[in-house]
Homo-oligomer: A and B are copies of this chain.
């Protein structure tokens, strides 16, 4: 089954290209908390933003538009072992979809100023949803990422 999607807006980010992003930040729960950017929603869809200011956090679904193909086994930025692509957040996936939770700072018309940006400039936005208490999970296990997270922390302490 095939699905056609269209962009509803565009991300404005301080990261102009992939290489601008410090990959170590991916292992840190607050790694991108201070990175501010803008979600610009195309005029056609602005009506859908009504009531959005009431939510502190939003789920942003976007396209990894610079992704070119995929492999089912991939070496994540944070690791040197081949992992299943669905066990990673690699942009090179069967469907190049990204998901990031951002914090709302301010809405001005068709623009949402947010923090928590880990996308690059020009990333096409596909959907925005309110982040709800159902999305907040406790007692989470992080698989291969757990070791990397601890390792990063230990290295930072050293």
Contact = CB atoms under 8 A, between A and B. Distances in A.
Nearest to A141: B56
A3 B1 contact: no
A127 B94 contact: yes
A144 B51 contact: yes
Q: Is the interface of A mostly helix, strand, loop or mixed?
A: mixed
B54 A128 contact: no
Contacts of A101: 134-135, 137
Nearest to A82: B50
A63 interface: yes
* 8 closest cross-chain pairs (CB), A and B: A54-B143, A50-B84, A47-B72, A29-B133, A56-B141, A51-B87, A86-B128, A48-B85
